[in-house]
Structure 1
Amino acid sequence: MTGIDSEARGLGPLDRDAYRRLSTKRDLLAALLITIRVAFHISLLACGTLLFARGHVWASLLILIPHFLTWSFLGWAGIGHELFHRSVFTARQPNVLLFRLFSVLTWSNYGYFEVTHPQHHRTPLGANDLEASPHERLTYMGTLALLTVDVAAIWRRARVLSLNAAGKIPTGRFATLFAPGSREALQLRNGARAVFLGQAMILATSLTLGGPYLAAAICLAPFCLTFPNRTLAALQHFNLSADGIRGRYENSTRTVVLDPVTSFFYANMNYHLEHHQFPAIPHYHLRAVHAAFRCEGAHRHIECGYWRGLALLAREGFFTAGRAPKLPFLLGR
């Protein structure tokens, strides 16, 4: 899925030659970037498992910190999102297979995302957008959970996936997309079942190869130290409004300029206005698109640096001592 591309609307800051060049997929580069991610996690897990087996418990736990901090970026707020758009590899199959694999690894129902994300791209923050909310809030206790282990998120995810796997269809606004007996409802059910089956296979394999340490390091990773991933995802659309003109995203979408390491793990999703305007352009070319946008002054909402982004969230009430509202998109993940 490449979304509603800008070719039909005019190319804005890019001319046609630049757009054609930047839309070209580079399979070797894409494979290299995926390999670096996989090797990073395998190396940390192997070292941690070895240290744990030799009795160096604290060292084995400390080595999990970078693993946990970056694992959630395999999912929908990261490289999994780009794979869904099929903009990473030239062929369709590796994009789809890796998107679904990374969804399973992050306990995410790909059958949900495959239905809701195209709606999000058509009208970000509009009436039919069941994925993003500009009114998202995070309680202080929720913040603490994201900085440690989010036990509540484990329970929510397991509960929702269980309901979906049993064929329970979300009600309310979700009924418009997941009508009983529809293809979308079957996608939701089958995706949830695939997550459980995949996680069972991962658990069994991890216990065989590395024991409880390796099993916990992989199966619990999507719920540990996820604060950077969650806050970056929130910055994409927090406190913004739906766009009045179809195909324009300046009002609804925020770009955050990050350091190269964070941008790598985030798959350049921080260039979010650029991505919404040109969803067919691979993530490894979005930095060049961003440069063109900056030259044209195309950004209405932009933050330079992660810490400035956090300051914006704090200033505009993202962190709250009260009870955070239930957000629709949380029900499907």
Structure 2
Amino acid sequence: MNVGDAEILDHKEALSRLSPELRATLQTRSDVAGLRHLSCYLLVLIAFALWVGLKLPLWPVALLPLGILWSFLFTLSHECTHDTPFASRWINRVVGSACALPLLLPFNWFRAFHMAHHKFTNDPAKDPELNHGPRPETLWAYMKYLSGLSYWAGMAKTIWKNAFGDIDAPYLPRRQHKRMRLEARILLLAYAGLLCSLIWSPVLVWVWVVPSLIGQPFLRAYLLAEHGLCPPVANMLENSRTTFSNRLVRFLAWNMPFHAEHHAFPNVPFHQLPALHAELKPHLKSTSDGYTAFHKDYRRQL
């Protein structure tokens, strides 16, 4: 859906019209806001994990919401790469690193990967999200993408390569290679320990592994909307999509459905994105009225 006949500005022009006072307010970070959101998120996740782990009545019903909660930790890790969910940098780094374990997503590696994505958004030759080819163009590729299986395989390969192989991607700073290698080896040791725990208890299979496999397709469906069907242009309000959604999705994703706004002004923390959206809404070029609408449009072009 495109906006109507109002004056359309690109992201640089639109941001230049914001007053210095408003720009400063929008960039205000808060430990209180971040920790409040994180606490609510973790309380819900722990509640579902206990429901499954203790096999309380109807516990299989809890596998899906638990899996979605595990998977959407990705959006928190993503925010931490920008140091925006919390005012204290060390909290961002600790939380981002903690998310690495359940997601198989090494944080230092991901931060470099994601910064390159912001720099070269939707550029087929330079955006690392497109390193292995374009987004799904056939129904089979679309279904494979949504399954999440390529994600798990890709991240397992990345961790192993970072631990013992060559760290050679051009967007990974050489000064960070030792840290990335150490990070990958620590993760492998942790996974080895978790694997050993299965000898005396299968609880991790039901509390983490199975839910994560079930929940990953929902994250894939969410992520495809961020840039799918968006053109390879420089305007961040066009090469990224804002998807109008409900409060639950915005809570799970730390307000990242306002994705064009995030790409236009990455220094804005999650709790200020609704305010930024109010300022940039007239200039958005790529939007969808919900994720169901986006996927209907996406399947139509396959």
TM over 0.5: yes
SS in 2 for 1:307: helix
**CA 1:316–1:14 in 2, change beyond 3 Å: closer, same or farther?**
farther
> Match of 1:316?
301
Offset, 1:132? 4.6
* Contact kept in structure 2, 1:125 and 1:132, CA below 8 Å: yes
> Match of 2:66?
67
Offset, 1:267? 1.0
Offset, 1:65? 1.2
State, as a whole percentage, how many aligned pairs show the same letter: 21
Which consecutive residues of structure 1, in runs of 5 or more, have no partner in the other structure? 1-6, 318-333
Offset, 1:98? 0.4
Distance 1:155 1:23 in 2: 36
> Match of 2:202?
212
Offset, 1:258? 0.9
Q: Is 1:186–2:178 an aligned residue pair?
A: yes
Residue of 230, 233, 237 corresponding to 2:227: 237
Distance 1:13 1:74 in 2: 34
Offset, 1:124? 1.0
Q: Is 1:123–2:120 an aligned residue pair?
A: yes
Distance 1:9 1:194 in 2: 45
SS in 2 for 1:224: helix
Q: Is 1:101–2:98 an aligned residue pair?
A: yes
TM-score (norm: length of structure 1): 0.76
Mapping for residues 51-90 of structure 1, pairs under 5 Å: 51=55, 59-75=58-74, 78-90=75-87
Question: Which piece of structure 1 moves more, 154-163 or 306-315?
Answer: 154-163
* Contact kept in structure 2, 1:199 and 1:219, CA below 8 Å: no
Distance 1:152 1:10 in 2: 37
Offset, 1:139? 4.9
Residue of 166, 171, 175 corresponding to 1:177: 171
Distance 1:234 1:28 in 2: 31
Distance 2:99 2:105 in 1: 8
Distance 2:145 2:59 in 1: 21
> Match of 1:11?
15
Mapping for residues 2-41 of structure 1, pairs under 5 Å: 11-12=15-16, 14-41=18-45
- Counting matched residue pairs gives 290
Offset, 1:251? 2.9
SS in 1 for 2:15: coil
Distance 1:261 1:206 in 2: 34
Higher helix share: 2
Distance 2:194 2:91 in 1: 20
Distance 2:150 2:115 in 1: 28
Offset, 1:154? 3.9
Offset, 1:192? 2.0
TM-score (norm: length of structure 2): 0.84
Distance 2:211 2:189 in 1: 17
* Contact kept in structure 1, 2:117 and 2:129, CA below 8 Å: yes
Offset, 1:201? 4.8
Distance 2:291 2:82 in 1: 25
Distance 1:125 1:254 in 2: 11
- Deviations along 1:206-227, one digit per CA (max 9) or x if unpaired, are 887xx31334422454332322
Q: CA RMSD in A?
A: 3.0
* Contact kept in structure 1, 2:53 and 2:206, CA below 8 Å: no
Distance 1:90 1:265 in 2: 20
